Chain A
Amino acid sequence: MHGTAVTPIIHNYDFHGLLSLRIRRRHVSWADSFLDSTFAHYRVEPSGREPDIDVEVGPFRPDLRGALRLDGRWYVSPGRILYKTRYKVARWTTEIGGLDGPHLKVRIDANGPARMVFPGETIYSLIRLRLAEKGLLLLHGPAVTHAGRALVLPARGGTGKTITALNFARRGWGFMGDDSSILAPGGVRSFVVPFNLRFTYDVARLLGVRFSPAKRREIFLKKCLSIATLGTINLFSRIDAREVFGPNIVDEAPLGAVYVLIQGPRAAISEPQPAAAIARSVLINTLFEADELRAMLLAYCYGNPESPLARLWDDFAVRLAERLFGCMLRRVTVPARYTPDVFEMIWRQAEEDLGRGARP
Chain B
Amino acid sequence: MNALYDIHGLRVRMTGLADASFPDINAKLHWFTVPEDGRPVDLEMAIGRFEPDLGSCMVLDRRYWARPGYLYLEEADKGLSWRAEIQGLDRVPGEPMRICFAHGPWNRRRQPWLLFPDLVAHLYVLWPVLECELAARGMYLVHAGGVERDGRATLIAGRGGVNKTAIVADLVHRGWQAMGDDFVLLARDGQAGAQVLAFPTSPRWFEFQLRHMEDEELMFVDKLRLFWFLHRRQETNVAFSRRSRLGRLVLVDQTEGCAAPESSPLDPAAAAARLALNCRMERVAYVGHGTVIGRFLEAYRYVMPDSTYSRAWDGLGQALAGLMSGVPACRIVAPPAYDRRLADAVESRSRCGRLDGFGTSD
Contacts and interface: CB of A to CB of B under 8 A. Distances in A.
B161 interface: yes
A64 B255 CA distance: 9
Nearest to A266: B56
A221 interface: no
A291 B255 contact: no
B211 interface: no
Contact of B61 (A67, A87, A158, A305): A158
Contact of B277 (A65, A277, A298): A298
A294 B59 contact: no
A72 interface: yes
Interface stretch (B41-49, B201-209, B235-243, B279-287): B279-287
B277 A302 contact: yes
A305 B270 CA distance: 7
A37 interface: no
A325 to B, nearest CB: 15
A285 B255 contact: no
A291 B289 contact: yes
Nearest to A69: B254
Contacts of A336: 59
Interface string B219-257: 000000000000000000000000000000000011111
Interface residues of B, number: 41
Interface in A37-73: 64-73
Interface string A274-302: 00111011001101100110110011011
Given A87-B290, A294-B292, A68 B255 contact: yes
Contacts of A75: 256
A262 interface: yes
B216 to A, nearest CB: 12
Contacts of B336: 69
Given A277-B306, A295-B284, A302-B274, A265 B56 contact: yes
Nearest to A279: B305
A65 B285 contact: no
Contacts of A310: 273, 277
B188 interface: no
A179 to B, nearest CB: 15
Contacts of A67: 255-256
A237 interface: no
Interface in B267-313: 270, 273-274, 277-278, 280-281, 284-286, 288-292, 295, 298-299, 301-303, 305-306
B256 A72 contact: no
B213 interface: no
B285 A71 contact: yes
Contacts of B254: 68-69
A70 B257 contact: no
Nearest to B273: A305
A264 B57 contact: yes
B301 A284 contact: yes
Contacts of A292: 289
A248 interface: no
Given A264-B57, A264-B58, A285 B302 contact: yes
B273 A298 contact: no
A70 B62 CA distance: 33
Contacts of A285: 302
A287 B59 contact: no
B333 to A, nearest CB: 8
A288 B286 CA distance: 18
A302 B55 CA distance: 42
B256 A298 contact: no
B277 A288 contact: no
A66 B258 CA distance: 7
Nearest to B158: A70
Given A67-B256, A71-B161, A71-B285, A287 B58 contact: no
B59 A263 contact: yes
A302 B273 CA distance: 9
A305 B289 contact: no
Given A70-B281, A277-B306, A65 B59 contact: no
A196 to B, nearest CB: 16
Given A265-B57, A280-B305, A305-B274, 8 more contacts: A68-B254, A69-B254, A70-B281, A87-B288, A156-B60, A284-B302, A291-B292, A302-B277
Closest 5 CB pairs of A and B: A277-B305, A280-B305, A263-B59, A284-B302, A87-B289
23 contacts: A65-B256, A66-B255, A68-B255, A69-B255, A69-B336, A71-B286, A86-B289, A87-B289, A156-B60, A262-B303, A263-B58, A263-B59, A264-B59, A277-B306, A278-B305, A281-B305, A284-B299, A284-B301, A287-B298, A288-B61, A292-B289, A294-B292, A298-B284
